[in-house]
């Protein structure tokens, strides 16, 4: 069969920086990959190990690296995959890194958003995830103005700039600390093992790794 020769090349894998990082490294180690140096990467972003190259990448950039063939495969949160909407092959649900996308509004202004929607026919939503937010409100049939922000979006409803936020939460602590109340759930997210569409078809190591990881989790 037409298996492209991959004996001489190292498998390129992107690992998400941040919350998913420790478990991802642990999982790759369990799968028998050479994860030397990854435990304490310091400022180093690339590791050329035995048979494998690891790239430490910002979670939201992982879909780009995979889709454009920068790496063969990666671990990536479902949230980043949905928001990027790029072509990758979703191979396995790894189960960890569970979090959910929620709609929240300030406790002291409960109902103000509904009120604004009734009187003005519009609601303003602050979010770091405009695509997920738009898809959600399109499904709900609610007309909203979406404001893209880059961080600390809980500030937007607190100062009255937006009525609600759509954000990701694992435990709800940050929301509670800022007196925000969850009013709806948008989607659930967990870590996924994803592959570049071409690598999945021509490099059997990618599917092999997917099967191994699926068994381990």
Partner 1 sequence: MIPVTPRGFKDILPEEARWRESITMGVQKVLSSWGYAPIETPTLEVLEVLEQGGQLAKMPFRLFDADGALLVLRPDVTLPIARMVASRLEEITKPLRFRYVQSVFREEESLRAQSREFTQIGVESIGLSGAAADAEVILLLVEALKACGLRDFTVAFCTVGVLRDLLDACLRNGEVDDSWRSTVLAACHENNLVAVRRLADDARIDSRHAAALRGLLDVRGGREAIDACRRLVEPLGCVDGLDVLAQTYDIIDQLGAAEHVTVDFSVMSAFDYYTGLVFEAYAPGLGVPLGSGGRYDRMLEAYGTNAPAAGFAFGLERVMHALLEQDAAADVVTDSSVIEEVIIDVSNPIAAFQSAAELRRQGKPAVLVTTREDC
Regarding 3 and contact with partner 1 (CB under 8 A), the answer is yes
Neighbours of 83 (CB within 10 A): 21
30 versus 201: smaller Cβ distance to partner 1: 201
Task: Select from 27-35, 47-55, 86-94, 104-112 the region that touches partner 1 (CB under 8 A).
Answer: 86-94
Compute the least distance from the CB of residue 144 to partner 1, in Å: 21
The Cα–Cα gap between 126 and 166 comes to 7
The Cα–Cα gap between 75 and 1 comes to 29
Sign (positive or negative) of CA dihedral 124, 130, 135, 136: negative
Regarding 4 and contact with partner 1 (CB under 8 A), the answer is yes
Compute the least distance from the CB of residue 200 to partner 1, in Å: 7
Query: Using CB under 8 A, which of 18, 46, 58, 68 touches partner 1?
Result: 68
Regarding 60 and contact with partner 1 (CB under 8 A), the answer is no
70 versus 172: smaller Cβ distance to partner 1: 70
Task: Select from 14-22, 85-93, 99-107, 109-117 the region that touches partner 1 (CB under 8 A).
Answer: 85-93
Query: Using CB under 8 A, which of 112, 197, 212, 217 touches partner 1?
Result: 197
Site size with partner 1, rule: CB under 8 A: 29
Compute the least distance from the CB of residue 190 to partner 1, in Å: 9
Regarding 14 and contact with partner 1 (CB under 8 A), the answer is no
Regarding 98 and contact with partner 1 (CB under 8 A), the answer is no
Compute the least distance from the CB of residue 68 to partner 1, in Å: 6
Regarding 80 and contact with partner 1 (CB under 8 A), the answer is no
Nearest to 127 by CA among 137, 142, 117: 137
Query: Using CB under 8 A, which of 26, 34, 93, 212 touches partner 1?
Result: 93
The Cα–Cα gap between 132 and 187 comes to 9
Residues that bind partner 1 (CB under 8 A): 1-6, 9, 67-70, 87-93, 192, 196-203, 207, 211
């Amino acid at each position: 069969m037409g298996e492209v020769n991959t004996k001489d090349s190292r498998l390129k894998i992107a690992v998400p920086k941040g919350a998913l990082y420790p478990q991802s490294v642990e999982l790759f180690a369990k799968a028998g990959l050479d994860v030397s140096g990854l435990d304490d990467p310091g400022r180093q972003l690339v590791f050329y190990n035995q048979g494998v190259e690891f790239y430490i990448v910002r979670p939201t950039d992982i879909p780009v690296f995979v889709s454009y063939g920068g790496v063969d495969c990666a671990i990536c949160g479902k949230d980043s995959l949905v928001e990027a909407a790029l072509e990758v092959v979703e191979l396995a649900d790894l189960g960890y890194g569970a979090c959910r996308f929620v709609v929240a509004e300030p406790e002291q202004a409960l109902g103000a958003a509904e009120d604004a929607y009734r009187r003005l026919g519009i609601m303003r939503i602050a979010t770091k995830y405009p695509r997920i937010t738009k898809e959600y409100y399109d499904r709900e049939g609610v007309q909203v103005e979406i404001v893209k922000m880059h961080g600390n979006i809980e500030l937007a409803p607190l100062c009255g700039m937006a009525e609600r936020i759509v954000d990701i939460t694992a435990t709800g602590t940050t929301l509670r600390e800022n007196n925000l109340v969850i009013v709806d759930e948008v989607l659930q997210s967990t870590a996924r093992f994803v592959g570049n569409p071409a690598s999945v078809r021509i490099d059997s190591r990618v599917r092999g790794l997917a099967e191994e990881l699926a068994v381990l989790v």
